[in-house]
Structure 1
Amino acid sequence: MMTIDGRPVGPGHPPYIVAEMSGNHNGDIGRALAILDAAKAAGADSVKLQTYRADTITIDHDGPDFRVGKGLWEGQRLYDLYQDAHTPWEWHEPLFRHAREIGITIFSAPFDPTAVELLESLDAPVYKIASSEIVDIPLIRLVARTGKPLILSTGMATFEEIEEAVAAAREAGAKEIAVLHCISAYPTPIERANLSNIPDLAARLGTVVGLSDHSMGTLASTVAIGLGASLIEKHFTLARADGGVDSAFSLEPAELATLVADTCAAQAALGTPVYGPTEAEQDSLRFRRSLYVVADVKKGETITEASVRSIRPAHGLLPKYLDAVLGRKASRDLKRGEAFKADMVEGGVPGA
Structure 2
Amino acid sequence: MDIKKLVVIDASTVLAGPSVGMFFAELGAKVIKVEHPLHGDVTRTWRLPTESKESTVSAYFSSVNYKKEYRKLDYTKEADRSEFLGLVEQADILLTNFKSGDADKFNLTNEVLKNINPRLIHGRISGFGPDSDRVAYDLILQAESGFMSMNGTPDSGPVKMPVALIDVLAAHQLKEGILVALLQRLESGEGKTVDVSLYEAAVSSLVNQATNYLNQGFVAKRVGSLHPNIAPYGELFITQDDKLITFAIGSNNHFFKLCQFLDCLNLVDDELFAYNQVRVVNRLKLQRILQEKIELIDSEVLLHAMAKEHIPVGVIKPLNEVLDDPAVQNMILEETIDGVLTKRIKSVAFHIR
TM-score (norm 2): 0.27
TM-score (norm 1): 0.27
Instruction: Name the larger-Rg structure.
Output: 1
